[in-house]
Amino acid sequence: MTILAAVLAAALTRAEMIDRMRAAPVGAANGLVSVIGDCPKEMRREFQRPIARFADGVCRTLYGGEEPRRFDEPGIVIYIGDVQTNVTDVAVKERVSVTGTRYTQIRVPAPAYADLDRLRLEVARAFLLSVKGEKADDAAVVKALRAADPELRAADTEAELQDWLAGRPVEGDDEKFLSIMRTVQIPGRASTADVLRYASRLMLYSPSYHAPFCGRYDGCTFREAIDMAKSDPRVRIQAFLKVTDVVAFASGRGEALAAAATAYSDFLRALAVNKKGREELVGMLDEADARLDAAFDEARRREEGKSDEEGKED
């Protein structure tokens, strides 16, 4: 390298350093997050705002329905480095600013290759420290993230409910889990477990335990009730009372399950009125069962990450 080339290279290096020093940070989450591009201009353009949006999303998820606080000084400062090889490191340190404010410094040396799961975890940990005043280990951070995400929270609640149903040790009493069974976990959506629990309710039960009902002491399925309703008025009464239950449990759980509930309620009303023939009642029940199967298939496809068209090909 000639002396002139060396001088030019040094000048370019100084220019780059000045450019980096003057580069404006990108704020996010109402001032809680600041993303600094300690890297060339083209890398800042590519990564600075996406990483700010990423951190903003993590923080707003953890806020849940709360109004985000406004920060005059950031509690989370993310530095984007200029490494362009496959370095996945995410380095974290607690710092104190010149004004005495404590903040978490997160360095991402190679933004194109950063471990996003680790970055999410560290941003969440820094959020809990700055906003909640909590020092959290990895397990506590993961728990907070899952509890704040509707999809993950519903999955965890369902897993806990299944443990309770199976008689495995859980935190909470029977009343808690009975309440969970009545609660819509994700508004406007039924899980496969929701549909299966709904199907388990499609029975008619005796109003008392001292007399047979449908020829036995426990209860009968809707299909068995078709033949019994003609001769046993108690079956017709229980069918009428069941209408409220089949509609209420489907409420808020999506259109597919609501359509099944409507079909079952129509069938139960017809059974209670006792004016339709057996063949017509069987047809109404078949239609309701088909709608319930469709609700289950829709939930299954969604949980398996399949589109409607893929599901139709199964």
Contact (Cβ atoms closer than 8 angstroms) between residue 146 and residue 153: yes
Q: What percent of the chain has pLDDT over 90?
A: 50
- Pick 268 or 97 by higher pLDDT: 268
Residue 17 pLDDT greater than 70, yes or no: no
Q: What percent of the chain has pLDDT over 70?
A: 86
- Pick 32 or 200 by higher pLDDT: 32
Q: Residue 7: its pLDDT value, please? A: 40
Residue 226 pLDDT greater than 70, yes or no: yes
Q: Residue 217: its pLDDT value, please? A: 54
Residue 86 pLDDT greater than 50, yes or no: yes
Render pLDDT for 179-191 as a digit per residue (tens, 0 to 9).
Answer: 777 776 777 888 8
Residue 79 pLDDT greater than 70, yes or no: yes
Consecutive H or E run containing 150: helix 150-165
Strand ranges of the sheet holding 76-80, from the earlier edge strand across to the other edge: 26-28, 33-37, 76-80, 102-108, 91-96
Tokens encoding 141:
């951070």
Question: What's the pTM value of the predicted model, to 2 decimals?
Answer: 0.57
Residue 31 pLDDT greater than 90, yes or no: yes
Q: Residue 294: its pLDDT value, please? A: 95
Q: How confident is the model at residue 2 (pLDDT cuts 50, 70, 90)?
A: very low
Q: Exposed, middle or buried by CB within 10 Å (0-12, 13-18, 19+), for 285?
A: buried
Backbone angles phi, psi at 313, to 5 degrees: -80, -15
Contact (Cβ atoms closer than 8 angstroms) between residue 150 and residue 186: yes
Q: Residue 22: its pLDDT value, please? A: 58
Backbone angles phi, psi at 21, to 5 degrees: -65, -35
Q: Residue 10: its pLDDT value, please? A: 46
Render pLDDT for 247-261 as a digit per residue (tens, 0 to 9).
Answer: 988 888 899 999 999
Residue 200 pLDDT greater than 80, yes or no: yes
Mean predicted confidence (pLDDT) in 120-133: 96
Give the amino acid at 293: D
- Pick 296 or 39 by higher pLDDT: 296
Question: Taken in order 114, 116, 122, 127, is the CA torsion positive or negative?
Answer: positive
Q: Residue 302: its pLDDT value, please? A: 87
Structure letter (DSSP) for residue 26? E
Render pLDDT for 153-170 as a digit per residue (tens, 0 to 9).
Answer: 777 777 787 788 788 888
Q: Residue 74: its pLDDT value, please? A: 95
Q: Residue 279: its pLDDT value, please? A: 95
76 forms bridges with which residues in the sheet?
33, 104
